[in-house]
Each structure stands twice: as C-alpha cells, then as structure tokens.
C-alpha cells in the first residue's frame, strides 16, 4: 500500500504568515508502507514526537522563568526600594520582549529554513499577552487601586499611558481568537485581518516604552529599532508578494 499523504494545513498565529506543516503530521497506523516493519515505523514516529514535546515543554518553562525569578526576588526582598515599580517595569519589558520574539519567528523561519520554529509562535504570542496582563493588572491594582475615575483621568492626561493601554487592549482579541476553533469559525480571511493588529500593538508598545522615560536611553532605542526593523521586513515582503501577483483582468 502506498504511503498515505496528508494535505497541507495552513495555520497562522500572531504574525499572520501561512505555515505548511503537512510534513510534520503524525503518521497513523493505516499509513505504513507495504512491507515496512510496524515497530520500526512506530520507533520513527516516537523519535519525531518526543523531542518536539520536550522542546515545547522546555520553551514553556523558560517563558515562565522571568515570572518565577521576579517572585523569588520579591519574596527575598531583593528588589529595589520600590518593589512594585520594579514589578511593573519587569512585566512590561517582558511583554515587549515576547512581542519581539513573536515577530522574529517569520523572518527566522524564512532565512534559516527551520519551519519548526513556526510551531512556537502562538505560544510566544500568548506569553506576550500573559505578561501584558500582569503589567496592566499591576498598574490597576497597586498604582491606582482600581479607582476608575483616577484610571480614566490618567489615561486621558498621560500619552504614554494612553498608548500603553490601547496596545494592551489590541492584544485581547488576538489572544481570544488564537485557537484553531476560532480560526475555523471566523474564516481565514477575517482572522488574518484581525491578527494584523499585532503590528499596531507592537508599534504602540515601543512608543509606550519610549515615552515612559524622561531621558531616552539605549534599551528604549534598541527595542524601537528592533520592532521597526521587523515591521519593515513585513511591509517589504508584502510589497514584493503583491508585485509578483499577476494583474487582475
């Protein structure tokens, strides 16, 4: 019996780039090649599945490490004179870092040919939302004590707060619609259009970090340049692809 093949499945997460993962689809028991040793095929399947599972678990644990370290330093009294300010700062920076990592996946995959990297994009995007939620909650709880009037006044009067809140709000629908079920329910075209908001959120995060400080230093400049470069890469790629398409008749 000939080897059964699975159709290419396109999946997008956060950066709206099609990823074809048919080559990584697990082989079922009914897809063995005639004359092949079932035990050997099972062994091959296990070799492919186990490393991926281990790598994904390791990536998940690594993504939680900054939070664990922050909690440990807080418990040990190793933070600065204003620990709540340190917590707000660290959760905000890690939000920006995970956004950058999410945007890096596509150029990394294209330049290196390592398509496996695309499997971790959704996780990176959700961790960006996770740390963004911690960052925003710290601001609401410990800075404003959930005082709605004070929060609204702060948002309206301080531009960096306005941009930061707007950027976080843009991440909410992206996180809520990141599942395969939501992609199927919304349809690829509408889902892709919605998830382009990640570019706006990324730019807003960079602006929020720049405006946060009175004197712009190297970290703010580096993050701004990184995000600008990644967004520029996406823009150039979109223009090139549009030019390659045949004109409509």
Measured CA to CA, the distance from residue 69 to residue 78 in angstroms comes to 10
Q: Residue 245: what pLDDT?
A: 78
Measured CA to CA, the distance from residue 15 to residue 12 in angstroms comes to 7
Q: Residue 5: what pLDDT?
A: 41
- Residues ≥6 apart with Cβ < 8 Å to 151: 140, 144
- Beta strands 10-11; 19-20: pairing state: antiparallel
Helices (H) and strands (E) in the chain, counts: 9, 2
Residue 96: name the closest of 247, 189, 248, 221 by CA. Answer: 221
Half-sphere exposure of 22 (CA within 13 A, CB side): 9
Q: Residue 188: what pLDDT?
A: 87
Q: Residue 42: what pLDDT?
A: 41
3-state SS string over 164-186?
A: HHHHHHHHHHHHHCCCHHHHHHH
Domain coordinates of the chain in residue numbers? 10-244
| pLDDT tens digits, one per residue of 126-145 | 999 999 999 999 999 988 99
Q: Which portions of the chain are predicted below pLDDT 70?
A: 1-50, 247-249
Q: Residue 249: what pLDDT?
A: 58
DSSP letter assigned to residue 213? S
| pLDDT tens digits, one per residue of 31-78 | 433 344 444 444 344 445 557 888 899 999 999 999 999 999 999 999
Measured CA to CA, the distance from residue 194 to residue 34 in angstroms comes to 46
Q: Residue 181: what pLDDT?
A: 93
């Amino acid at each position: 019996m000939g080897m059964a093949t699975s159709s290419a499945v396109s999946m997008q997460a956060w950066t709206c780039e099609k990823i074809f993962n048919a080559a990584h689809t697990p082989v079922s028991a009914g897809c063995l090649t005639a004359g092949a040793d079932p035990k050997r095929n099972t062994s091959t399947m296990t070799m492919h599945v186990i490393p991926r599972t281990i790598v994904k678990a390791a990536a998940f644990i690594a993504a939680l490490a900054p939070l664990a370290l922050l909690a440990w330093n807080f418990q040990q009294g190793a933070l600065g004179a204003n620990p709540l300010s340190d917590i707000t700062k660290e959760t905000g920076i890690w939000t920006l870092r995970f956004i950058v990592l999410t945007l890096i996946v596509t150029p990394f995959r294209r330049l290196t040919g390592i398509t496996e990297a695309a499997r971790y994009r959704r996780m990176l995007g959700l961790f960006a939302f996770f740390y963004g939620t911690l960052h925003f909650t710290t601001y609401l709880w410990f800075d404003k004590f959930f005082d709605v009037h004070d929060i609204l006044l702060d948002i309206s009067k301080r531009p960096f707060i306005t941009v930061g809140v707007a950027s976080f709000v843009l991440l909410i629908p992206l996180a809520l619609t990141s599942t395969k079920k939501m992609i199927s329910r919304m349809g690829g075209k509408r889902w892709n259009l919605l998830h382009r908001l990640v570019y706006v959120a990324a730019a807003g995060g960079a602006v929020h970090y720049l405006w946060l400080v009175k004197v712009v230093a190297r970290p703010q400049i580096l993050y701004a340049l990184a995000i600008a470069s990644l967004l520029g890469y996406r823009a150039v790629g979109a223009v090139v692809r549009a030019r390659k398409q045949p004109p409509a008749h």
